Amino acid sequence: MHIHLDTGDGRVPIYQQIVQQVKYLVASGRLLPGEELPPIRVLAERLVINPNTVARAYRELEQCGLVSKRSTTGTFVADGVASRVASDALEALTPPADALVAAARRHRVEQEELLEI
């Protein structure tokens, strides 16, 4: 499982970057239901961050139902979540898209110009 952190102080909390990317990995089928995520400490070490930060990400993923933690055994992708996550992903994409379009309108930016970008 490969995760890339943008530490550029881009105002996105590390733990959310993890949450988001795990969602992506599941939605795109690169993480399959039942598959085990790296142990908290291992992922923390690999990303050179504090275990607490990974733990928080995993906790949020569990609250979303995307992952299930069997204590003392590990953390696993929950069953039958691929579809839900997929629609989730699209929904997550919609608001920023709308905002972008709205912003563009306020700027009177031509549609073609926007598409080029």
Query: What is the contact surface with DNA in residues (CB under 7 A)?
Result: 13-16, 37, 39-42, 49-53, 55-56, 58-59, 69, 71-75
Tokens of 39: 């142990």
Phi, psi of 79 (to 5 degrees): -80, 145
Residue of 28, 35, 45, 46 that binds a second copy (CB under 8 A): 28
Greatest CA separation for the chain: 57
Query: Scanning residues 50 to 69, which ones bind a second copy (CB under 8 A)?
Result: 63, 68-69
Which is closer to DNA, CB of 13 or CB of 65? 13
Residue 82 contacts which entry, a second copy, DNA, none (Cβ below 5-8 A, type-dependent): none
Q: What is the DSSP letter of 67?
A: E
Q: CB–CB of 34/77 below 8 Å?
A: yes
